[in-house]
Amino acid sequence: MNLTFRLKTDAKSHVLSGPSLIKPDGTTLKGAADFDDIGNVWTIVVPEAEEGAWHWKVTLSQDSSKYIQATVLALPRDPNDAPIVTTVKFLAPATGVSPKDQNIKIMATVMKGNSPIRGADVVAYVTPPDISASAQEYELLDNGVGADAVSGDGIYSRYMTKFAGEGRYSIKALVKGGSSASVNNGPPPPPTYPSAGRRRRRSTDLDIKPKPCCGSVVPYDPDTAAPTGNFTRVASGSSLKVIDPPAPDEDILAPCRVPDLQVAELYGLDEGGSILTLIWTSPGDDHDEGTVSDYTFRLSEVRPDLSNKGFDEAPPSTLLHFEREALNQSGVLVPFGSSVAFNVTYKGAFTFGTEYLVALKAKDEAGNGSPVSNVASFFLDQKLDLPSWADELIKTIKKSNAEFFSQS
């Protein structure tokens, strides 16, 4: 890359010795910086700068009333190659917002031209109104859950969940790319479907990681993706005025919505009823931070029962049952962003050819409930009519099995 470093000050006397750059190998770049006495700006240009972490140093006076401002411009060596650009912002009205009335999102974009960057490490630093206090850190994610709407689109997001009183908050983002970061240059080619025979999946085949659904993932082809190499970007965003924030001991933030609930398996019980295996990505206690405390699951044939308005008032027959101890021991109550699977029991009877709908709500320890999840659906294929001899054979096999196990 081609590197340009500039250092500006309001008083030349504040800079006791001009700025210098330290190369990735630890040696100091030779050559003095160019100085513009009209703008009080030092400039250092490094054509074809070495890959790695560069540092700068300068010696200043003790006059705290003076300031310096450093800027770095990094451009690709190939002028036709688009640079990696980062922006960051609060997704909320800058004129003022109360966390009690509206969720506040932090969003950073990491793009190379029009192509999203996947796998970058993005951290947002939110400075509270008391600038002497430590900045609040948020690890922004591009995973399609929580505050993030779409996975892999180069937009890294998180809900703002930490508040240090009323006032104006400022934000900046630090983005780093390494061996895991890549440029998404387009989706893979359309899949082909071999004419292989279908087989029934066993429980041991079950992948508990939720599959992409609901339009929540940008297609990605590793064969056309390009590694970014090592890079670092820093971006500053506009400020946000927070009014009427919650008190430190006040829990008003509910778990975030689950967007990827799916029904992975279904099997009937001999004593009646059925077991459903559900998979989803866990929400947090406060939006997408922390660990939830409880879940409610419902199954219905009509969507109004599973809406935000109708979920809590749906008939008792729509509840899917589970033992509280099983919930505690199943590894479902885990921090935000974890893939989980859980078995629930439906005590009713299913009808072949009917579509069934499933949804859930999460709850934190203060009783705050999340919005209703996406609605997962399934149906049972029509039962095949068997000839009478096949029915009799099945009955005989069942009877023989029962007699065998009763004797053992």
Query: Would you kindly state where each structural domain of the chain is located, as residue ranges?
Result: 2-75, 84-185+214-242, 262-379
Contacts of 189 (CB under 8 A, 6+ apart): 221
Please state the rounded mean pLDDT for residues 195-200.
46
Higher-pLDDT residue of 16, 213: 16
Q: Is the pLDDT score of 46 beyond 60? A: yes
Residue-wise pLDDT tens digits, 113-155: 999 999 999 999 999 998 778 899 999 999 999 999 999 999 9
* Measured distance CA(351)–CA(345) in Å, rounded: 16
Q: What's the half-sphere exposure (Cβ side, CA atoms, 13 Å) at 154?
A: 19
The CATH class that applies to domain 262-379 reads mainly beta
Q: What are the tokens at 50?
A: 């070495």
- Per CATH, 84-185+214-242 and 262-379 having the same topology is answered yes
Taken in order 183, 187, 188, 193, the sign of the CA dihedral is positive
Write the pLDDT tens digit of every residue in 231-255. Answer: 889 898 888 999 999 998 899 999 9
pLDDT at 204: 42
Q: How far apart are CA 320 and CA 220, in angstroms?
A: 36
> Mean per-residue pLDDT for 386-395?
63
- Cα–Cα distance measured from residue 318 to residue 138, given in angstroms and rounded to the nearest whole number: 38
> Nearest to residue 169, comparing CAs of 205, 206, 220, 135?
135
Using CA atoms, how far apart are residues 291 and 332, in angstroms rounded to an integer?
10
Question: How distant, in Å, are the alpha carbons of 4, 51, 80 from that of 47?
Answer: 8, 12, 16
- Is pLDDT above 90 for 383? no
- List C-alpha distances in Å: 376 to 110, 256, 280, 359: 32, 17, 10, 6
**What gap in Å lies between CA 238 and CA 258, rounded to an integer?**
29
Q: Residue 386 pLDDT > 70, yes or no?
A: no
**Residues 179-190: pLDDT tens digits?**
999 999 887 666
Per-residue pLDDT band at 1 (split at 50, 70, 90):
confident
Given a contact cutoff of 8 angstroms between Cβ atoms, the answer to whether 252 and 103 are in contact is no
Pick left, alpha or beta for residue 147 (phi over 0 → left; psi -120 to 50 → alpha; otherwise beta): alpha
User: pTM score, two decimals?
Assistant: 0.74
- CA separation for the pair 361, 298 (Å, rounded): 9
Separation of first and last alpha carbons in the chain: 76
Cα distance between residue 139 and residue 62, in whole Å = 35
Query: What type of residue sits at position 310?
Result: G
Q: Tell me how far apart the alpha carbons of residues 118 and 223 are, in angstroms, rounded to a whole number.
A: 14
State in words which class domain 84-185+214-242 has.
mainly beta
What is the SS3 assignment for the chain?
CEEEEEEEECCHHHEEEEEEEECCCCCECCCCCEEECCCCEEEEEECCCCCCCCEEEEEECCCCCCCEEEEEEEECCCCCCCCEEEEEEEECCCCCECCCCCCCEEEEEEEECCEEEECCEEEEEEECCCCCCCCEEEEEECCCCCCCCCECCCEEEEECCCCCCCEEEEEEEEEEECCCCEECCCCCCCCCCCCCCCCCCCHHHCCCCCCCCCCCECCCCCCCCEECCCEEEEEEEEEEEECCCCCCCCCCCCECCCCCCEEEEEEECCCCCEEEEEEEECCCCEECECECCEEEEEEECCHHHHCCCCCCCCCHHHECECCHHHHHHCCCCCECCCEEEEEEEECCCCCCCCEEEEEEEEECCCCCECCCCCCEEEECCCCCCCCHHHHHHHHHHHHHHHHHHHHC
Provide the pLDDT for residue 394: 60
Question: How crowded is residue 166: how many other Cβ atoms within 10 Å of its Cβ?
Answer: 13
CA gap 52, 45 in Å, rounded: 16
pLDDT reported for residue 95: 80
